[in-house]
Amino acid sequence: MSIRLRLALWYTAVLGGTLVIFSLLLYLLMLRHLIDEGDANIASRAQHIASTVRVETAAPSTVQRVELPPIDAFESPGIYVQVVQTNGTVVAHSDNLGGQELPGDERAFAVAHAGHGVFYTAIVAGEQVRVYVEPLVASGRVIGFVQVGRSHAEAYVVLDRLRLGLAGVGMVSLLLAGAIAWAVAGGALRPIASMTQTARAIALSRGFSRRLGVTTSRDELGQLSRTFNEMLASLEEAYATQQRFIADASHELRTPLTAVRANLELLDRQGADLPGSERQALITAATGEADRMARLVADLLSLARADAGQKLRMRPIELDRLLLEVYGDARLLAKGLTMAIREIDEASLLGDPDRLKQLILILVDNAIRYTPAGGEVGLSLRKDGATAVLEVSDTGIGISAQDMPHVFERFFRADRARARDAAGTGLGLAIAKWIIEEHGGDITVESELGKGSTFAVRLPLMSH
């Protein structure tokens, strides 16, 4: 069942329930009104008849003569009048009763004999009749009763018409409400149908550059369309990044593979005829390219784990000790360069020691690679409030202003860097940035072309 149909049915059901409650209350109020109006009518007639009865005293004085008004003058369609003595004997009745009598009620007569008017219900000719009994009083005593009855038939006719009217109005209202609800729900859900079609088209074509038509309304559908477009923009960027990553990775892997294959084919064809020094050179070259591929695959694996949201193993560590370890290893690699620790403070923080050591090695390795012989690489670690600041500086080739915004992008390598070191993968700084961000820090770089660069890493210290 569609949402549109469910909304229309719910709206119609709620309206139907409201109409049923309203109709029931109106019917009960009308029933009460008709009963009260009828009771007031017959009570008024009975009291009027009782007030017009005349009692005359004749000789002897104990004999009284009762003179009744014309009973038929008080009758009307559905209204019956009857006068009875206290013993129940009918003295007079209206012509519309024919040969019938209004049935008496002993309890009602007992109440009336006490001087009070009273209502009761009787059956006359198969119809319910509401009867009012009014006592006839002469000389301080009750000498009889006036009974005025009213048939319920007229009230039932009115109530039947009311029921039919309410039912008809209710049905028309429900049909009209259902049609309006169907139309309104369709109009409200039309943007969702458009979103669904667009999303399906995007899924089939992978055309993440497409966008939904954003409405100017500030309702939920407008917010949904804007949010959906933001998601499409994010997907478009991620998809484009993935495509570039795959293309760059393929290119970077193809180069060493081509070199290894060429060296091995040359060894296979002419290895026996080549001097030993040339064979060794070919083997060394193939080994170097294989090592480069191994580093590239390791870097790609690190980035894949970063993209998968891999969490680091955090524990308290001493960053100054890690820096000294890296410094000791780097001195063996920095041939022809001067390595120096300019400043070092004790700094404890919560982090992954393996990843932090990898971070420092990446920065130091870059400094060594792009600093010519006779240059200097400097390390420093200091505290700045609640932050540890790690700096790696060099006097190398530097980075141009146009390349500066791209140095942390994957596979980015400036032309001067490519010319100086073909063995780099272009992934080191991207990995370094991921490690820093996972530790809640940030990295900045200052560089001047031909004079060197300084990378500054800021990491939060462990609170005591």
Residue 275 has pLDDT above 60, yes or no: yes
What is the model's pLDDT at position 86? Answer: 83
CATH hierarchy code of domain 314-460: 3.30.565.10
Nearest in space to 427 (alpha carbons), one of 335, 379, 358, 351? 358
pLDDT at residue 59, as a whole number = 45
| DSSP per residue, 328-368 | HHHHHH-TTSEEEEEEE---EEEE-HHHHHHHHHHHHHHHH
200 has a pLDDT exceeding 70: yes
**To the nearest 10°, the Cα dihedral for 75, 77, 83, 84?**
170
Residue 420's pLDDT is: 46
pLDDT over 60 at 315, yes or no: yes
Q: Give the CA count within 13 Å in the CB-facing half-sphere of 328.
A: 6
Residues in the chain: 464
Instruction: Name which residue leads in pLDDT, 239 or 414.
Output: 239
At residue 301, the pLDDT reads 77
Tell me if 68 sits within 8 A of 91, measured CB to CB: yes
Report the relative pairing of strands 63-67 and 54-58 from DSSP bridges: antiparallel
Q: What residues contact 352, with CB distance under 8 A and at least 6 apart?
A: 312, 313, 314, 315, 435, 438, 439
Q: Report strand pairing: 338-344 vs 376-384.
A: parallel
Q: Classify domain 3-158 at the CATH topology level.
A: Beta-Lactamase (3.30.450)
Q: Write down the pLDDT at residue 214.
A: 61
Domain boundaries, the chain: 3-158, 220-304, 314-460
For residue 61, name the pLDDT band (cuts at 50, 70, 90): very low
Distance in angstroms (rounded) separating the CA atoms of residues 53 and 136:
8
Distance CA 144, CA 87 (A): 8
Q: Which of 77-81, 142-146, 206-210, 323-327 has the highest mean pLDDT?
A: 323-327
Average pLDDT, the chain: 82
Q: What is the CB-side half-sphere exposure of residue 392 using CA atoms within 13 A?
A: 22
Distance CA(438)–CA(302), nearest Å, equals 13
Specify which residues 121 forms β-bridges with.
130
The more confident residue out of 443 and 256 is 443
Gap between the Cα atoms of 311 and 414, Å rounded: 31
Please give the Cα distance from 174 to 263 (Å, whole number).
Answer: 86
Per-residue pLDDT, 251: 64
Q: How far apart, in whole angstroms, are the C-alpha atoms of residue 409 and residue 366?
A: 15
Q: What angle in degrees, to the nearest 10, is found between the helix axes of 153-205 and 220-270?
A: 20
The rounded Cα 439 to chain-centroid distance in angstroms is: 33
Residue entry with tokens 């007639």 = 45
Three-state secondary-structure class, residue 20: helix
What are 285-312's pLDDT values in tens digits?
A: 888 778 877 877 777 777 777 766 777 8
Can you give the pLDDT at residue 419?
43
- Sign, Cα dihedral of 376, 382, 388, 389: negative
Distances (CA, A) of 448 to 162, 391, 401, 419: 95, 16, 8, 18
Query: Distances in Å between the alpha carbon of 68 and those of 50, 128, 150?
Result: 9, 27, 21
pLDDT over 70 percentage in the chain? 89
What is the C-alpha end-to-end distance of the chain, expressed in Å? Answer: 60
Between 56 and 131, the higher pLDDT residue: 131
Q: At what angle do helices 220-270 and 276-307 cross, to 10 degrees?
A: 170
Report, as an integer, the average pLDDT of 145-172.
87
CB contact at 8 A, 279 and 267: yes
Mean pLDDT of 82-99: 81
3-state secondary structure of 316: strand
Tokens representing 16?
């139907």
* pLDDT at site 69: 61
Instruction: Give the separation between CA 67 and CA 85, rounded to whole angstroms.
Output: 13
CA distances to 31, 78, 360 from 72, rounded to whole Å, are: 29, 13, 121
* pLDDT digits 0-9 by tens, 230-266: 888 888 877 777 777 777 677 667 767 877 888 788 8
Lowest mean pLDDT among 5-9, 133-137, 188-192, 211-215: 211-215
pLDDT at residue 246, as a whole number: 75
**Amino acid sitting at position 352:** D
Structure tokens at 145: 């009763």
Compute the distance between CA of residue 245 and CA of residue 239 in angstroms, rounded to an integer.
Answer: 10
Which of 288, 445, 419 lies closest to 362, judged by CA? 445
Could you report the per-residue pLDDT of 332-372, keeping only the tens digit for each?
878 889 999 999 999 999 999 988 998 998 899 889 988 99
31 φ/ψ angles, rounded to the nearest 5 degrees:
-60, -45
Which residue is listed with tokens 């209206």?
94
**CA angle centred on 231, ends 228 and 232, rounded to 5°:** 90
Q: How far apart are CA 449 and CA 368, in angstroms?
A: 16
Residues in Cβ contact with 175 at an 8 Å cutoff, skipping those fewer than 6 apart: none
Residue 68 has what pLDDT? 56
Pick the CATH number of 220-304 from 1.10.287.130, 3.40.50.800, 3.40.630.40, 3.40.50.460: 1.10.287.130
